Structure 1
Amino acid sequence: MGVCPECRAATYQMRQGKLREEDCLRCGWLAIVGADGTCRCCRAAVRLGEDPAWLRAVLERRLLPAGRPLQLALRMDGLRLKTLPLRQTRPLTTVKLPSWARGRPAELQDDPCVCVTEVPGQLGLFAPCPRSFTREHGTRIRGRTPVEWPIVLAELKAIAAERGVGETWLVHTGDGARLALASRPPTERLVSPEALVDLPQMRPTVQLVLQRAGLLARPRPRLVPGWWSKGRGSCRDCLAWTNGNDQRCRDCQMWGHTHADGPCHRCGRGLPLRDGHCRRCLLLLAETEYDLDHIALEGGDQLWFGGPYAPHLKTTTNRAGEQTGLYGRRRLQTKRRIAVQTSRATAHTVSEHLAIPGQLLLFHALRDWSRLDGRPLPALTPNAEALLADFTSHIRARGWTLPGNQASLSALKFLVAHLGADAPFHETDVRLLAHHPNFAAPRVINYLRAIGLLVPDEKSDALLATARRYADEAPAAFQDGVHRWIDVMCNAGTRPSLPLAPSTVHGYVRRARTCLNIWHTVGIDDLRAITADHITTVLDTLTGETRKTTATAVRSLFRALKREKLIFRDPTRGITLTVAIPLPKALPDERLVGALDLLPFARDKLSLTLAAVHALGVHDQRGLLLDDLDRARGRLTVRRAGRLDRTIYLDELTHQLIKKWLAERHRRWPSSTNPHLLVTARTSADDNHPKVHPRAISKPLSRIGLQPGRLRMDRILDEATHTEDPVHLIRLFGLSPITAMRYVRAAHPDRYRPLPIAP
């Protein structure tokens, strides 16, 4: 049989029925062909570009005549050619070759090599061996007609009518029935049910057909042929069944090479020993010490299979290379660990520190959870198990995955195991537990707050806390003065005043502490000893915006101390700085061309449009609410604390981007309750409903070289170039009069003279 060079895997697939052996449509050779009807060498040649005409014909669903040149490929280790079929199905063009060209007769054939006809009544010399039929074998004997075939065909047609199947089913099932009839021994008329296992497909249906036709024999009892059992038995050492021809199995032979003989302490036989036991006794001890499978017998031992099914004993070695212990790795160690965990779980008791509902605290002390690391958890109470199950349902209802929230589940389980689920939890205890790397607190805190089992902490601003820490780190002579300064800025001084924002307080103290450290270095230990020269000396070492902000912070410090009557005079009263006021500048036109197409996500496109078209900064975009969006009227209200609200009239582009963003938000986070218009994956799942981080808006724009502040400035400046009316800018963008005039002067510098009192 001439075939084109194929690998063994392909030949194996052919025997299993996945490939077929017929004439290649391209070269015409009898070979193993794929789904497109070509052999492997032809597919390699086409994919390497050696026959573009054939590739074009395949793409156009045409079939060229066979007999095209064939280029053999050189097979090398490590080099694999891509020989997948060009098409998964045959070309649609129905071009059939004549029977003489395909090398097969047009009529049905009967291959005498398949199920050779034997002499009737002749006895077999050997027991019948298992066969491996394929669909190709059934095709090759379609011309064979056994005596009982008309009866089988009638039953096949009856079943096909009952099931409503077509001609294809009838052909394939008929091939299987024909193979079953052809494989019968010459001395038997009925088909043995054990022989149906050799069929490639349709085994239950063929069995039903033969049963209806009365051609199915009764199943025989299970027999082991003599040639199979000859020379095989049990190993004389471990008694494993289905041993090879040797008297000892391979594992026992290897065991005997590395261990000395002696009487076993358990069975008393003279065999190779380790730790006083033979290999069989070691396996039994390792398997039955923790009898999870209930295989330990009273007065007897459990036998096992040999060969590949035999249990193996993995020996453990210490650092010196000596074999120690009866246990190995993997299965036996896993079995031992499960048994130990099960025994510990049954021995656990309820925690002795369960919180009692309604009990008042004598004093509050911080818990040290690190002392409980490595200890087994106490048993859960029924209320604790119900709370943990409800938290699991809460996670699934929010659309989160359990593996991604395993740290939160572990944290809540740890809390309810030690404190119970009857009394509320202190937020401080939950946050202290989150210091452990295997625990997470935010979602546990939000869940406990939602169900009313959380005692919240007193809220403190992080920026103010940092400013207080800066004051504590200042030189000892200046600490009281800095704390009094912070009190004044927070409206906690002796006289009432307007409080400043926490960010402003933090920035002032951060700038001023540099000056305090320098003054302490030169030997000044009292704020009343600071003079204007000391301040000027420090400011002269700074430049730009840093010099301006430092001077503002120092001026605020000494004004507050003078107000609190802690110093006699303000040394910053006569200090002036020359500050350059930057004018707004327009962006180049090429920076904005195509910027919207560079952003892949709808939220980033919406942020760019709000900044470039409606002049909304990062702060205003973070505060936008869903309730302030009126899509029916095309309006969006911008709420600003301490100032009038601003109404934006949406254009067509902004309206479409908002529509796309709302659809994407509902698709990604359908259960989110965050009221803000712009959300992220983190803020949408947080029950505290925070605003998005400023970097979530500015970072995508910075990747394409833009900034929201510069876009806002460019939009206002562009509007100012078309009008000289500052009132128009105030109404359109919600600016202050001073800011509006600054943009008008920058847009029309030739129409305004410099102010006479300007620095």
Structure 2
Amino acid sequence: MSRYPKGYYKPTDSCDGCLAWGDFSGRLCPACYMFGRSHATAACVGCRRIQPLKWGYCRLCWCQARLDAQATVGRLAAEADVRARLNAVRHHQLFFMGMHHRNGSALAPRRRGGRRGAPRKLPPAPAWRPNADWRQLPLFGQVPRDYGRLAPSGVDLTSPWLTWAKYIAHRFAEARGWGRNIRFAVNRGLALVLTGYVEGDIIRHSEIFNPLRSRDLPVGHVVTVLEEMGIFEDDSEPSFEGWLAERLEGLAPGIRSEAERWTRVLRDGGPRSLPRREGTVWLYLNRVRPALLEWSDRYDHLREVTRDDVRTYIETLHGHQRRDQLVALRSLFSWAKRKGLLFRNPTSRIKVGQYEYGVLQPLVPAQVDRSVAAATTPATRLILALAAVHAARVAQIGTLMLDDVDLGNRRLTIAGRVRPLDDLTLKLLLDWLEHRRNRWPSTANLHLLINNQTATKTSRASNHWISASMRGQDATLERLRVDRQLEEALTHGPDPLHLAEVFGLDEKTAMRYADSARALLEQAAEYSASPPGKELGPD
């Protein structure tokens, strides 16, 4: 029975038997308690204390003799070696509770899911590319392999190529913080695709994607190792090609080929044109497609389209649709005129017109409150603050690096512009960094915001993941960014130069915010100047 009353918390103390320091209940540690139940008490031959004895010595003397024996033989000592050193004990090295075990020292780390004292698995030995001696040349060229028919029992674990691949995978795992499960899955995938591999073979993406995916193995990590080995060929079809074929479906053959050439020049650039972003290419082709589908019913080539056809089609459109589609059509026909595909540009002298922007309206507090309530994780709260306080775009949030954060000087660099860190953003930033350190302690990704997919890589998080928490809300990240810039114009006055300096806006965008702020301020002034009980507006 414990000498401490029920409900009393016993502080850390030393054992009365072995003098070991530890956290236990009662006077004795568990080892001395069990030792005393099976041995009689008398005066110890070595330390002269009244203690339970085994062969005339107490447990403290036995622990010291075992420690001396292990230091001499360099391994776990047998009981005979320990008994031979009992007479030589002249001092005692004090220790913490649980440091002496029959299966080895407790100083050895205990692995998760394994027994205490089990040896830790050693990393693979350094390996290099196997020497290319002689090999049998293929008779009919390289025949595509069917990796899906390979059973786990048929895997060749002795292949030198697999040994080299495992060493490369270990280096990537150490550098990028791959967990135990990812390492095991990558080694399984490498064993699958490298069984039967010989010098000169090429492993293609189309051959290994389905077999690895069906076994729930990480295709991307396996491909990273194979690319480092120089034996991988990415023959997968880019998503752009599938999208382009779908968008051009239904067009006349001549119009289809010309539209395809124009789209590829937009994406890849040409002798006198710079490449556009893929998103811009998508917008341009989507805007000209309705007109091309309509003209494909009557014409076979773009040179048959007249100016009247363009005007007739444009007259059916209004607002920003008319402007956007006319701009895209002018780009298409201007390219065709430069290439000599037509004699006259049918879109020439058709004015696009000035696009009239409406007055930007601020968000109401209820809309902002709902977005704040939807941010329930450290990452989403930080993303919300970056958009609502610092007016950062989604792409700018995704490209933020750890080096962009200067906690000591309370500065944050967004898109090359240094901004001061307010108290709210600083608190949310510290919360996220603490969560990131606890969740992914070994990650090598230097981006500020990471998730489960990017923690084992070096790429940034996608725009879709960043904006997912605010999707469906009235106050999205984009509207919060616009509201922040509009609030700055309303608070400090509609000064375009001030907005351009604070947020890095170009002159047209800054003037648009200034015009909206000026209109809102004039409307508020007119409302405050109207007589009580009389509303503004027509009678």
State the TM-score bracket (shorter-chain normalisation).
0.5 to 0.7
1:506 is matched with which residue? 282
Distance (Å, rounded) in 1 between the aligned partners of 2:152 and 2:40: 71
Instruction: Give the alignment of 1:461-472 within 5 angstroms.
Output: 462-463=239-240, 466-467=243-244, 470-471=247-248
Residue 137 of structure 1 corresponds to none
1:697 maps to which of 466, 469, 487: 466
2 CA distance for matches of 1:738 and 1:379? 65
Identify which of structures 1 and 2 has the higher relative contact order when contacts are C-alpha pairs closer than 8 Å and 6+ apart: 2
Structure 1 residues not aligned, in runs of 5+: 1-88, 93-154, 165-353, 640-644, 753-759
Q: 2:377, 2:501 → 1: CA distance?
A: 31
Report deviation, 1:370. Answer: 6.1
Aligned partner of 2:300 in structure 1 is 525
Q: Distance in 1 between matches of 2:404 and 2:306?
A: 53
Displacement, 1:517? Answer: 2.2
1:740 pairs, out of 510, 514, 523, with 510
Superposition pairs for residues 180-579 of structure 1, below 5 Å?
367-369=144-146, 372=149, 377=154, 379-384=156-161, 386-387=163-164, 390=167, 398-402=177-181, 408-420=186-198, 426=203, 428=205, 432=209, 437-438=214-215, 439-450=217-228, 452-455=229-232, 457=234, 462-463=239-240, 466-467=243-244, 470-471=247-248, 474-490=251-267, 492-493=269-270, 495-521=271-297, 523-539=298-314, 545-576=320-351, 579=355
Structure 2: which amino acid aligns with 1:485? W
Tell me the distance in 1 between the aligned counterparts of 2:155 and 2:262. 51
Structure 1 segment 569-718 matched on structure 2, within 5 A: 569-576=344-351, 579-593=355-369, 595-596=371-372, 598-639=374-415, 645-686=416-457, 689-702=458-471, 705-718=474-487
Q: Write the deviation string for residues 599-620 of structure 1: whole angstroms up to 9, x where unpaired.
A: 2211111111111111101011
The answer to whether the 8 A contact 1:369-1:433 is kept is: no
Closer/same/farther in 2, CA of residues 406 and 479 from structure 1, 3 Å limit = farther
C-alpha spacing 1:430/1:444, structure 2 compared with 1 (3 Å): farther
Aligned to 2:22: none
User: Greater CA radius of gyration, 1 or 2?
Assistant: 1
Structure 2 unaligned spans of 5+: 9-36, 43-49, 54-129, 523-539
Does 2:494 match 1:730? no
Q: CA RMSD in A?
A: 4.1
Shift, 1:589, TM fit: 2.0
For residues 355 and 503 of structure 1, what CA distance do their matches in structure 2 show? 46
Cα 1:517–1:405 change in 2 (3 A) is farther
Report the equivalent of 1:13.
none
Contact 1:558-1:570 at 8 Å conserved across structures: yes
- Paired-residue identity, %: 27
How far apart are the structure 2 equivalents of 1:91 and 1:626? 48
User: Secondary structure, in 3 states, of the residue corresponding to 1:699?
Assistant: coil
How many residue pairs get matched? 402
Residue type of the partner of 2:154?
A: L
Where 2:196 maps in the other structure, the secondary structure is: helix
- Give 1:461 deviation, angstroms: 6.5
Cα distance change of structure 1 residues 435 and 158 upon mapping to structure 2, 3 Å threshold? closer
Q: How far, CA to CA, are the matches of 1:389 and 1:499 in structure 2? A: 40
Distance 1:358 1:580 in 2: 74
Separation in 2, partners of 1:572, 1:536: 8
TM-score, normalisation: structure 1 = 0.46
Structure 2: how far apart are the matches of 1:595 and 1:699?
A: 12
